[in-house]
Amino acid sequence: MQGKIALEEHFAIPDTLMDSAGFVPDSYWPELKDRLLDIQDKRLAQMDRHGVEMMILSLNAPAVQAIPDVARANEIAIRANDFLAEQVAKRPSRFQAFAALPMQDPDLAIKELERCINTLGFRGALVNGFSQIDGKKPLYYDLPQYWPFWAAVEKAGLPFYLHPRNPLPEDCAIYEGHPWLMGPTWAFGQETAVHALRLMGSGLFDAHPKLKIILGHMGEGLPYSMWRVDHRNGWVKAPPKHKAKKKICDYFNANFFLTTSGNFRTQTLIDSILEIGADRILFSVDWPFENVDHASDWFNSASISENDRLKIGRRNAIDLFKLDLGEVARHGINQAAE
């Protein structure tokens, strides 16, 4: 399929580069480093070769979220977003952008979100899981202090991508002696799934019903757990029951979108379609941690209808991100090149 749009595609700046070093063997690090720092050359060549018209780019993980000093987190977010705006302005018909946000301080996160969308023309935000502040527990975004932030996201009308990160070491007892389970193998997905369930169970989507949340990796395992989550929670005694007014699956189907990033399996894709519908699934690669050819070759031949392939590969992204591809090509990101 030609004209695919991919949206979990990462880059790094020098300040965040080493955050990605621990996830690959030392022998592969030079290649991954080169991929992370490149936007206009090898990445673009891979896109051309495999029918990817556009990538929506985001900062690598955990980056800003793992910087416990609030002022420094804000500084790095601004630096990364300014760099990304410059890169996208060079080829706005091929690249668009997600904002990195200093979620350690909700007010600063709102300010940077609004700057990125209103001034730089970004297409939403991608945040790498919970945030850290020195001496405090992880900050999850169902907490009350984040509700003004979610009001700003809803007002902007653009999606928020909840991207994974590992749990903190003090929360990793279950993985002790089994380091192979950390990262993308398992811990990433589990951590993100629980975070997403916290958002759904908090009542957030009752207060802000137009919020749009994206999960990668075909939903971090959640599509296959919706019935059980609701079934078990439906008859437990209060107060253990969640605070939300509806079933968890109602929010999952109304407020969430999934991508194929780093999960190139047709059976899993079909399961996701059956649970959430083809209108809420979007093609992605997870470059540079996954290969564009692996994602594209699999997706191009996956045993789904051609109408669903076109939706997932392209149309859903155009609708979700309000992409006028002709306008983007002519004018760039709010004339960020000027």
Catalytic residues: 286
- DSSP characters for 260-314? -TT---HHHHHHHHHHH-GGGEE----TTTS-HHHHHHHHHH-SS-HHHHHIIII
DSSP reduced 3-state for 11? strand
β-sheet with 4-11: strand ranges across: 4-11, 52-59, 95-97
Q: Please state at what angle helix 70-90 crosses helix 106-118, rounded to 10 degrees.
A: 10
Going by the DSSP 8-state scheme, the letter that residue 168 receives in this structure is P
Are the CB atoms for 77 and 97 separated by under 8 Å?
Answer: no
Find the angle CA(61)-CA(65)-CA(71) to the nearest 5 degrees. Answer: 130
Cα–Cα dist 335/227, whole Å = 47
